[in-house]
Amino acid sequence: MKVLYKYMPFRVSFFDDPLLRLTPPSALNDPFDSKPTQLAINKKSDFFFNASRADDDEPDDDELRSFYENDLRYGLEKFGIISLTENHKNLLMWSHYAKDHSGVVIEVSNEHPIFNYHHLTYRQCGVSKQHPIKVEYTNVRPGQDIPDTAIYEYFEYNFYTHFATVKGTPWEYEQEYRYLLTLDEADVGLVRLLKKIEDIQEPRLSVRHVHEDLYKVEYTSPEDRELLKWYLAIHQGRGNICDVILFKRLSRDAIKAIYFGCRVSDDSIKEARNRIIKSGFYSKEITFYKGKESDDLFEISFEEVNFHEKY
């Protein structure tokens, strides 16, 4: 696929700064999603402990096994998922993810990486992928039949990747592709401030007020951004902030087009375009489209939005 698509509600903040949430499995809308089964955990654990027995002076096998199995069970919480699709005309997805056709679909290039990555993170992590993975759909949860490549390895890279990219057949209509990124890759955090802003400020950090007690936090230097997750975790532990949500910023040339739902007003489209022009995070080569209901079929088409003034 040369391009992929992201459904979302109409949020003016996105047109100021193109951020996509790094969603951990526990925050997904499907309780089965990215959740390793006990059968698969047992199989992986059996291989690990048969291949490398603990020495006599280490804790007993039961204690080690319990620790290892918990890591398998919850290890994907260290990662964030960004979901895309190959279909921008799906009526169900326009209703579910684009707020009843009042939202937007973002078209992104799939020929080049759409994010700027923290290189140190990628050298250390075999799970994070710079390109999206196509989701597989099945009625059977991975268990004893899990692929050998996810079991017979001394790390858990393929194990985690497999569970993050297999979903139930009822979700097949989404035609989903996924980025699976370590949370160290976050560029921005959205936090709820519980104390004084001075309690979380530091020289290399940008802390900007968003709304009421919500603040947008990011390091000003790209070299420091891999520290963001740890910085936020420390201040959450101190009780300075709560409700932390992490985001990845799309690169300047990632977005090729924006499709507005058939219920989006012309004024909202103009506002989105004006914010994009002022933002500095977007290319000038973006095409805008407006959805239109078919008179004869249950489908939507899109017409290019022509503005009188150029930019």
Of 56-65, 92-101, 102-111, 264-273, which range is least confident? 56-65
**Residue type (1 letter), 105:** V
DSSP sequence for 44-75:
HHHHHHHHSPPPTTSPPHHHHHHHHHHHHHHG
pLDDT in tens, 150-191: 898 878 889 999 999 999 999 999 999 999 999 999 999 999
CA 202 to chain centre: 27
Using left for φ > 0, alpha for ψ between -120 and 50, and beta otherwise, residue 45 falls in alpha
Asked if residue 203 has pLDDT above 50, the reply is yes
pTM for the whole structure: 0.91
pLDDT at residue 29, rounded to an integer? 94
Angle value at C-alpha 183, between 15 and 14, nearest 5 degrees: 5
- The full set of domain ranges for the chain reads 185-241
Question: Long-range pairs for 210-219 at CB < 8 Å and ≥24 separation?
Answer: 210/13, 214/190, 215/190, 215/191, 215/241, 216/188, 216/189, 216/190, 217/188, 217/189, 217/190, 217/191, 218/187, 218/188, 218/189
Burial letters for 202-213: b for 16+ Cβ neighbours within 10 Å, e otherwise?
eeebebeeeeee
Asked if residue 59 has pLDDT above 60, the reply is no
pLDDT in tens, 256-289: 999 999 999 999 999 999 999 999 999 989 999 9
| C-alpha to C-alpha distance for 56 and 211, rounded to whole angstroms | 57
Contacts (Cβ under 8 Å, ≥6 apart) of 96: 7
pLDDT at residue 35, rounded to an integer? 95
Average of per-residue pLDDT values in the chain: 91
Identify the helix (H) or strand (E) that includes residue 21.
strand 19-21
Asked if residue 311 has pLDDT above 50, the reply is no
Specify the residue for token string 């196509």.
134
Contacts (Cβ under 8 Å, ≥6 apart) of 152: 47
| C-alpha to C-alpha distance for 182 and 164, rounded to whole angstroms | 12
pLDDT in tens, 106-154: 999 988 889 998 866 555 566 777 789 999 999 999 887 889 888 988 7
| C-alpha to C-alpha distance for 87 and 74, rounded to whole angstroms | 31
Percent of the chain past pLDDT 70, that is, above it, reads: 92
Greater pLDDT, 54 or 71:
71
Question: Is-contact 304 260, C-beta < 8 A?
Answer: no
Question: Is-contact 251 187, C-beta < 8 A?
Answer: no
As a residue count, the chain comes to: 311
| C-alpha to C-alpha distance for 303 and 284, rounded to whole angstroms | 19
Burial letters for 248-278: b for 16+ Cβ neighbours within 10 Å, e otherwise?
bbbbeebbbbbbbbebbeeebbeebbebbee
Question: Is-contact 89 3, C-beta < 8 A?
Answer: no
Question: Is-contact 254 209, C-beta < 8 A?
Answer: no
Dihedral angle, C-alpha 256, 259, 265, 267, nearest 10 °: 0
Token pair, residue 277, equals 């022009």
